[in-house]
Amino acid sequence: MATANPIPDNTQTAENTATDLLVLVTPMAPEHFKGVLANLESAFSPDSFVVATQNELPADVPSSLRVVATPQANAAWSLKPIDFVNAARYGREHEAKAFLILGPEADSLSPLALRSLADAVLKASIDLAVPHYSLPSHAGLINSAILYPLTRAAFASRVRFPLSIDLGMSPRMAERLAGVASAISPAIQAEALLWPVNEAVAAGFVTDEVDVGSRAMPQPSDPDVNSLLSLITGSLFADIEAKAALWQRPRRPPLIRRPTVEVDQSDGTEEVAHMVAAFQLANANLQEIWSLVLPPNSLLSLRRCSTLDPAAFRMPDDLWARIVYDFLIAYRLRTINRGHLLGTLIPLYLAWVAGHINVMASGTPAERHIEAVAAAFEADKPYLVARWRWPDRFNS
């Protein structure tokens, strides 16, 4: 665990001299931090980087390692506003040419992955280098169902993991994110999420993905899907609302250049029946609330889905895109309390997951289905723009 004085007396701290790379390492378990330091030493020469962290340094840390202590903060499963503020502050002090922010359990990233993220900024003039992780097919499904396709459609971004917990940044990207983070009310700092990809698009900065292979993903202290879905989706909805003038303008998405390697496809079909049952129960009990959010055609399609046998259950891609868009509109209009609104999205999300598992069980690769979902979001973006501009037109 981190301590109030993480830098031992016998360890050399960094002087305020220029450096190629400022690496901000977020709070993590000692064994993970030790692994991160070892990988950094393998990836970079000691005089080319400075580590900024609150983590307690191992007793056997090399004397050549340059370290600065950051203020204490609680460990978190995601990057927090204070991480961006600290990165910019210490990078400014050391005149860093590039930045890395590494989230919890970043020791699972190889030295090559760390080098690739840094080189994207240092050598390829990328402002925001976002990792492309190779995850198991059942990992990160909130990202696959909502975050990735919605970000791709709204901001014409191909970044597969827009809420990444590791990032490479240029100085101007670091300053941009620090400015956004500093403007967040202290009362909500602990729960606030930043969306670096959206900020890069808004600023006209260059973004690219970097293939980093597999990575261990930290779990929230409260892994309840209900609270997690509401927190993440609500944050993205709010950011899209704030940037409405930007994403309504036509944008040409870049070509997808990510690898096509498929990770293991575990079965998971035993969970489908429970998720479909939860959806069927919600379909019977939430019609009055859903009718405030969804048009009649969507409600009719959901009723048809609710009659399907669990083994044959599917959520059509275009229906799912339309549902998310209508919930986004309802969030903007405050059709109902936002907390209640996002709560009623949960059984619909579980229905999508059930269908996704069945699609994989039929032999379709997970990534192929997720790309088809994202394409459906892109194709239906004109509906979102029209409803955003003239919401009452669709209320009849």
Long-range contacts, stretch 331-336, CB < 8 angstroms, 24+ apart: 331/234, 331/237, 331/238, 331/241, 332/237, 332/241, 332/388, 332/391, 333/391, 335/292, 335/293, 336/289, 336/292, 336/293
| The pLDDT of residue 14 is above 70 | no
Cβ atoms of 272 and 358 within 8 Å: the answer is yes
Domain ranges of the chain: 21-247, 269-394
Tell me what percent of the residues of the chain surpass a pLDDT of 90: 78
The amino acid sitting at 356 is H
pLDDT at 1: 37
Contacts of 364 (CB under 8 A, 6+ apart): none
pLDDT at 393: 61
pLDDT at 89: 97
Write down the mean pLDDT value for the chain.
90
| The pLDDT of residue 384 is above 90 | yes
Residues 352 and 301: their CA atoms lie apart, in Å, by 13
- Local confidence band at 219 (pLDDT 50, 70, 90 cut-offs): confident
Task: For 39-82, write each residue's pLDDT tens digit.
Answer: 999 999 999 999 999 999 998 888 889 999 999 988 888 999 99
Class of the 21-247 domain?
A: alpha beta
Task: For 240-297, write each residue's pLDDT tens digit.
Answer: 999 999 999 888 766 665 554 555 555 567 889 999 999 999 999 999 999 999 999 9
pLDDT at 10: 38
pTM for the full predicted model = 0.91
pLDDT at 252: 77
